[in-house]
Every structure is written in C-alpha cells, then in structure tokens.
C-alpha cells in the first residue's frame, strides 16, 4: 500500500486518501484505500460544531483521489456518476475508513467502482457504486423527471439570506455551502445559490501556473451544496425531530455530472421534495451554472437522527 503525497495539483476539499493500493486478483482489479478522520483536516471543523464527523461526500472525493493515484493519471479524474450510495454508519473523529473496491473499466480512462467502506473495527459505513474517470466527450444531461429547463435568472435579493441559513443549518465556514435561497415552496420545491470564489478553501494550497481545468470546483462539494439546499427545503416543510437531531445523508441514486464550474460562476440548485415519511425525506433535482445543467440527481434520501445516537459509545 502506497502512502500518498499531501500536495494536490487540482482543487479538492482535502487530501481524502492517506494510503492506496491497486492489486490484480482472480476476481479482477481491486483498489483499496484508507483515510483517518481528522478534526484538523480542511472543512472538518465546519461540518458539525462539537462533532467531528466525515461528510459522506468526502468518501466520493476519496475514491476520485484514489483512482488518480492508483492509475498515475496525468489528467485529473472526475466523479462522473453516482449510481448508488448507501450510508450505514457515521464516521467520527479518529476512525480509520477503508474503501475496498472492485474496479471495472468502462471505456478509456473511465472506471466503475463497486466499493464497500468499513471502520477499523469492521463496521460497514457505506456502499458506493460510482463511475470515475477523465471527463472527455461528456453528453448533455437528461432527467427522469422530464425536460430540463434552466431556472429564471435571479432579479432580487435572496428570500432567505445568509444569517437565517446559519440559524437553520448546523454547518459553518468553510463547510456552509449555500449563500442564499431565491425561491421556496414548502412541501414542494426550493432554489438555492452558491457563488464559487477563488478564495474558497479548496483552492488554498494549489501551486501557481496550473491549467484552468485544475480549478474546477470539486464535484463532491457541488453535491454537498445541493444536499444542504435539500435540508433547507425539509426544514421549511416540517419539523425534523427537534433541536438535538442531526440531518444526515442516507442514500443517493442516479446522480450524473457534466462540465465544470469555475471561480466566478454561481451554482443554482433546484430541489424537489418527492416524499416525506416520518424522519426521512426523498428529494430530486438539478444543479445549474447559468443556463448550463451541470448535474442531475434522480434521488437523494436524507434522515434525521438523534445526536445521542450518532455519538453513541462503541
């Protein structure tokens, strides 16, 4: 197993892999990587105050970085599709997370990974089915929910501003990735925005002289921003279990990305509430940069869990 260099030559929220290993077995190619959850890592302090917990999207970022290291790619791989993700247990400070994936090539410099993620004690924490690779020849996105129509441009101030969002969401800088809400229909739909800035933490340690594509805003953070907007729709619709509950991502199905988003652009999330059942919410939606649809999410499932259950002794 190879220890990876801390330095990255492309925008990323953190070094999401400590070690990586690629092996050939009788069953095919396998990729294995590890990551220790550290409070000192970028973005971690803002995820949940007083609770060090690895955001689920950093597992996706870790797979991307593991592929880049394992295959020694000169071009930056991207998260192309999240075919399915199921989260099974929280990943708290001090945990060492192992990603063990069966890898199958799907075209040149594209790989499908079926990964099982576990804590050091063997507890399953996630099951991932992802397509990762170099983003060339990408086709325009389509949606299972009908034709894609760009949202109307924003003409006024947000109807839910940053101060109110800070009251509603338990995340803080730099993990707070929604700047404002520009439309909301409780029980049905929300539209949130996130301005991409060259001062975002994911750019802080990049060397000078990189080509423009290396500054593409990480798709893991794009998805996290969508998830936070989804949480705001849930909170605008119904109670979620009280002030001591934690809203957590539980599952993803059918998330597809295309194109990049650069500093100076604004993300626009359009999220629909499909169903609300007890402490679970089912969402879908699209992510836009101006009139470009850069991601489609067929299904996102979020759950509300008591903080005491998340922090339960092991």
Q: Return the pLDDT at 161.
A: 95
Arithmetic mean of pLDDT, 86-104: 96
Q: Return the pLDDT at 50.
A: 80
CA separation for the pair 175, 170 (Å, rounded)? 10
Task: Give the dihedral of Cα atoms 22, 24, 26, 32; nearest 10 deg.
Answer: 0
Arithmetic mean of pLDDT, 296-303: 96
Q: Cβ–Cβ contacts within 10 Å for residue 246, how many?
A: 20
Cα radius of gyration (the chain): 19
Q: Return the pLDDT at 308.
A: 67
CA separation for the pair 91, 66 (Å, rounded)? 19
The number of helices, as runs of H, and strands, as runs of E, in the chain is 4, 13
Q: Is residue 149 part of a domain?
A: no
- Phi/psi class of residue 131: alpha, beta or left (left: φ > 0; alpha: ψ in -120 to 50)? beta
What is the pLDDT confidence band of residue 250, given thresholds at 50, 70 and 90? very high
Contact present, 159 and 232 (Cβ < 8 Å): no
Q: Give the whole-number percent of the chain exceeding pLDDT 70.
A: 96
CATH number at residue 239: 3.10.129.110
Q: Return the pLDDT at 162.
A: 94
Q: Is residue 190 part of a domain?
A: yes
Q: Is residue 199 part of a domain?
A: yes
Q: Give the number of domains in the chain.
A: 1
DSSP conformation letters of 69-127: HHTT-SSPEEEEEEEEEEE-S--BTTPEEEEEEEEEE-STTEEEEEEEEE-TTS-EEEE
Nearest to 219 by CA among 49, 8, 39, 59: 59
Which residues have a Cβ under 8 Å from the Cβ of 278 and sit 6 or more positions away? Answer: none
Q: Is residue 106 part of a domain?
A: yes
With a threshold of 0.85, does the pTM exceed it? yes
Q: Is residue 117 part of a domain?
A: yes
Query: 310 pLDDT exceeds 70?
Result: no
Residue 229, SS3 per DSSP: helix
Q: Is residue 231 part of a domain?
A: yes
Q: Is residue 128 part of a domain?
A: yes
Structural domain containing residue 35: 2-135+155-310
């Amino acid at each position: 197993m190879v220890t990876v260099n801390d330095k990255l030559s492309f925008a990323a929220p953190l070094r999401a892999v400590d070690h990586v290993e690629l092996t050939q077995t009788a069953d095919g190619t396998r990729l294995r990587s590890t990551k220790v959850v550290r409070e000192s890592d970028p973005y971690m302090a803002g995820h949940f105050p007083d609770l060090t917990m690895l955001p689920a999207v950093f597992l996706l970022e870790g797979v991307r970085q593991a592929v880049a290291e394992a295959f020694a790619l000169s071009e930056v791989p991207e998260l192309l599709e999240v075919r399915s993700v199921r989260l099974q247990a929280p990943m708290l400070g001090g945990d060492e997370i192992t990603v063990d994936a069966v890898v199958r090539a799907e075209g040149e410099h594209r790989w499908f990974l079926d990964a099982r993620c576990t804590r050091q004690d063997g507890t399953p924490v996630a099951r991932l089915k992802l397509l990762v690779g170099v983003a060339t020849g990408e086709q325009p996105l389509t949606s299972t929910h009908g034709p894609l129509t760009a949202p109307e441009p924003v003409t006024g101030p947000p109807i839910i501003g940053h101060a109110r969002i800070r009251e509603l969401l338990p995340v803080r800088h730099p993990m707070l990735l929604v700047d404002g809400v520009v439309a909301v229909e409780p029980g049905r739909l929300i539209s949130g925005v996130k301005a991409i800035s060259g001062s975002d933490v994911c750019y802080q340690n990049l060397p000078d002289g990189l080509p423009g594509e290396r500054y593409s805003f990480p798709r893991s953070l794009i998805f996290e921003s969508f998830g936070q907007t989804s949480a705001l729709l849930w909170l605008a619709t119904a109670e979620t279990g009280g002030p001591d509950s934690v809203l957590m991502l539980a599952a993803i199905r059918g998330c597809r990305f295309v194109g990049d988003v650069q500093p100076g652009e604004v993300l626009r999330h359009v999220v629909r509430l499909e169903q609300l059942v007890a402490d679970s919410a089912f969402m879908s939606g699209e992510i836009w940069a101006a009139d470009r649809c850069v991601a489609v999410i067929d299904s996102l499932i979020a759950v509300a869990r008591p903080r005491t259950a998340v922090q339960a002794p092991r």
